[in-house]
Amino acid sequence: MPVLRLALTNFRSWRDTVIAAAPGFVVLTGENGAGKTNILEAISLLAPGRGLRGAMLGEMARADGPGGFAVAASLKPSPEGEGEIRIGTGATAAAPERRQVRINGAPASANALSDYLSVLWLTPAMDRLFTEGAGARRRFLDRLVLALEPGHGHHANRYEAAMRARNKLLIESEAADPVWLAALEAAMAEHGAAIAAARLRTVDALAARLAEEPEGPFARAGLALEGWAAIDEAGLAAELRASRGRDAAAGRTLVGPHRSDLAVAHLAKGQPAARCSTGEQKALLLGLVLAHAGLVADRLGRAPLLLLDEVAAHLDPVRRAALFERLDRLGGQVWMSGTEPALFEGIGPAIRLMIANGAVAPA
């Protein structure tokens, strides 16, 4: 569902701003530090999770504001749909780390947002995805899964909550209540098995799509899951029971889907992504996101909303043209940012906005 209107209140550098948009391309240009990425981050919060920066809610309120912030949007249901859907999120000064969500004016859970928006993004910080720890790749993979299976967020939240409670019980109690431990492990097993299965479905489907794509300007990635191997619910429950002593000594849970990793390779070179050049890694990541966007469009009948922060600046003219053509063919809404309008000359029809001096104006 494309964003037709975006309103920011005391969010990051923005005091009170309204942006009118439309399906297709929305191009934000302006100097570094003008607030372009803040706008993209605000949109990313209209989906479950902590947004494209992964920041705490308290960090998002405007520094010289009254505390708290709000991000709201009006969505168009479909090309033929009537009316609009209103969604919003934010936090108050009284509870700066408690996220609030509203859909058409009614309170809702953050996971409910995935019924209306599938949001994917690429940012300069993600250039380190293949060389960072496994946690960053798991978060990236879970974002891909969530776009295809909205219920994934529910399982992830429940699993994390049960694991935190189990860790605390094992660490703080020399003789932890075995009945309570078993209940927590049962919850971890139920939701952990669902997480592992959804990840595997997404990786398999995306790997198959990438393998079928013709050679083009963006490198094709090979995908696999490594680390903890996915097993069924009963098997995970048994692993957790057997690992109680080790986990208590380690102060953390050593088995489960939070120990998995997404392995990415350059198919044409037969080489792990971590050993590829920086340029090859960028191309792999971009090709992966584009292929996933196409998979989402095929599966759900609508393309995800894409947020591409400073992506065009890293591409030569040939690859920029190929990117614009691929995105146009995909047919969803794409928000792109860059410092120079010239980077987007070949993009065709678009909403073009200039970000400067704390204001948004037509470019």
Q: What is the mean pLDDT of residues 105-109?
A: 94
pLDDT at 120 exceeding the cut of 80: yes
Alpha carbon distance 211, 151 (integer Å) = 27
Residue 298 DSSP label: H
Amino acid 233: pLDDT: 96
Q: Please, which contacts does 53-56 make with residues 24 or more away whose CB atoms are closer than 8 Å?
A: 53/123, 53/125, 54/139, 56/97
Please determine, for residue 78, whether its predicted confidence score (pLDDT) is greater than 70.
Answer: no
Confirm if 51 and 45 have CB atoms less than 8 A apart.
yes
Domain boundaries, the chain: 1-118+303-363, 127-301
Contact 317, 339 (CB under 8 A): no
Of 122-136, 250-264, 266-280, 302-316, which one has max mean pLDDT?
250-264
Structure tokens at 352: 């073009």
Nearest residue to 309 via CA among 52, 51, 45, 7: 52
User: Which pTM value belongs to this model?
Assistant: 0.88
Is the model's pLDDT at 235 over the cut of 90?
yes
- State whether CATH 3.40.50.300 applies to domain 127-301: no
Residue-wise pLDDT for 266-304, tens only, equals: 988 999 999 998 888 888 899 999 999 999 999 988 889
In the chain, % of residues over pLDDT 90: 72
Which pLDDT score, from 0 to 100, does residue 81 have? 54
Question: pLDDT of 148-169, one tens digit each?
Answer: 998 898 999 999 999 999 999 9
Among all chains, which residue has been given the structure tokens 């992966």?
A: 288
Q: What is the predicted pLDDT for the residue at 280? A: 87
Mean pLDDT calculated for residue range 315-326: 89
pLDDT at 150: 87
Q: What is the mean pLDDT of residues 35-47?
A: 96
Q: Give tens-digit pLDDT for 213-229.
A: 877 788 889 999 999 98
Q: Do residues 148 and 296 make contact, with C-beta atoms less than 8 angstroms apart?
A: yes
Average pLDDT taken over every residue of the chain? 92
Q: Can you give the pLDDT at residue 82?
A: 63
Exposed e or buried b per residue across 324-363, where buried means at least 16 C-beta atoms within 10 angstroms of its C-beta: bebbbebebbbbbbbeeeebbeebeebbebbbeeeebeeb
Provide the CATH number for the domain formed by 1-118+303-363 in this structure. 3.40.50.300
Structure tokens at 43: 């949109």
**What pLDDT score was predicted for residue 214?**
74
Picking from 122, 119, 121, the residue whose alpha carbon sits closest to that of residue 148 is 119
For residue 79, what pLDDT band results from cuts at 50, 70 and 90? low
